[in-house]
Amino acid sequence: MLRWLIGGGREPQGLAEKSPLQTIGEEQTQNPYTELLVLKAHHDIVRFLVQLDDYRFASAGDDGVVVVWNAQTGEKLLELNGHTQKITAIITFPSLESCEEKNQLILTASADRTVIVWDSDTGRQVQRISCFQSTVKCLTVLQRLDVWLSGGNDLCVWNRKLDLLCKTSYLSDTDLSFVTGSHIGELIIWDALDWTMQAYERNFWDPSPQLDTQQEIKLCQKSNDISIHHFTCDEENVFAAVGRGLYVYNLQMKRVIACQKTAHDSNVLHIAKLPNRQLISCSEDGSVRIWELREKQQLAAEPVPTGFFNMWGFGRVNKQTSQPVKKQQENATSCSLELIGDLIGHSSSVEMFLYFEDHGLVTCSADHLIILWKNGERESGLRSLRLFQKLEENGDLYLAV
């Protein structure tokens, strides 16, 4: 996953057209989330959620506490106390197959200028690094290299044993907010330095279409000064949350195929693509919305204004003009984002969410709460299953003849 934070330039939507917010009634037949569980452990804004494995996730926020939860039962498994100030970044460092340490690690960075490495199973504090000059605002793991990066005013690369591999003070301008690590393309931006080149080369073995787009978007973004809060991608599309709207950019067609300019009342903070062509977004307005990308056969008259294209500069970025995909634009299928459900639970801005294939959706919010949204029908079935398991264990299950 790729993500960045934009510190500066977060201006009001100068260019966002006033279009009515799409709403959905109370009848949401396609919304599977009919059960929720409110989890309360934090005392301040919960900003981050990371998935640890199939059934666990960790949450962190401004209260400096990391809590590990069971996504199935909502049970609080661990509470990791160590930071004195708010947590600014959290990431998991999965164990390598080859490595003798099987335990998964959690890295947390905090405004107290420390990074703490935790054991996610025991909650033990493995190591604490406090040699930072400034707050680490971003953490990234490059799993292939078995290294992780920390980004603040300077960028450091660490290996698993927490040796500092290299360090840069390139980013002296703290206002500029690209303090991020990412898996592949990101590093190319910092190609002035040796280590990034190195990383780049290693990653270059596996060039993916995303690589290109990411660079392009970033470049454009810089030039246009539009606040992209978050974006995600899959094989064919890049989904971006821009201001209050959602945009879907098709990599093959090299253009935006669907957009929803006012998807939320307020800025969209996080989006994610679900396997079933669904998109989930959460926003500062405290709601989470579920969208479905529906194809519709349409002529050239698209709802997406061309002016916006230009601003985004998607036209310009295409350096590889020789790409064959351009021909497909003739019979372009356009899509639309249909709102199929909204999840209203938080009373304040929803900072982030996490999608579990099996257990539903976890959202965290500035109202200090975490909500576990579940598919009610599925949960009901699971409960029945457990019920009969328990009956069987107790020997209370009789088979009728």
* Binding footprint of another protein on the chain (CB under 8 A): 25-29, 31, 34-38, 40, 73-75, 341, 344-347, 369, 371, 374, 376, 379-381, 383-388, 390-391, 397, 399
Which of 31, 232 has the CB closer to another protein? 31
| CA nearest neighbour of 325 among 252, 216, 392 | 252
Which of 304, 382 has the CB closer to another protein? 382
CB of 282 to another protein, least distance (A): 15
CB of 264 to another protein, least distance (A): 14
Which of 75, 225 has the CB closer to another protein? 75
Residue 170 CB partners (closer than 8 Å, separation 6+) = 154, 155, 190, 192, 193
CB of 35 to another protein, least distance (A): 5
Which of 38, 131 has the CB closer to another protein? 38
Which of 301, 399 has the CB closer to another protein? 399
Distances (CA, A) of 357 to 298, 362, 375: 33, 11, 11
Which of 280, 369 has the CB closer to another protein? 369
CB of 77 to another protein, least distance (A): 13
At 20, list the tokens: 């009515």
One-character DSSP codes across 109-171 = EETTS-EEEEETTT--EEEEE---SS---EEEEETTTTEEEEESSSEEEEETT--EEEEE---
Instruction: Find the largest Cα–Cα distance for the chain.
Output: 78
Residues in a beta bridge with 188: none
Report how far residue 224's alpha carbon sits from residue 395's, in angstroms, rounded to the nearest whole number: 68
First to last CA, the chain: 55
Burial (CB count <10 Å: 0-12, 13-18, 19+), residue 353: buried
CB of 345 to another protein, least distance (A): 5
Which of 7, 381 has the CB closer to another protein? 381
CB of 37 to another protein, least distance (A): 5
H or E segment and range at residue 339: strand 334-344
CB of 106 to another protein, least distance (A): 24
Report how far residue 370's alpha carbon sits from residue 352's, in angstroms, rounded to the nearest whole number: 10
Question: Three-class SS of residue 4?
Answer: coil
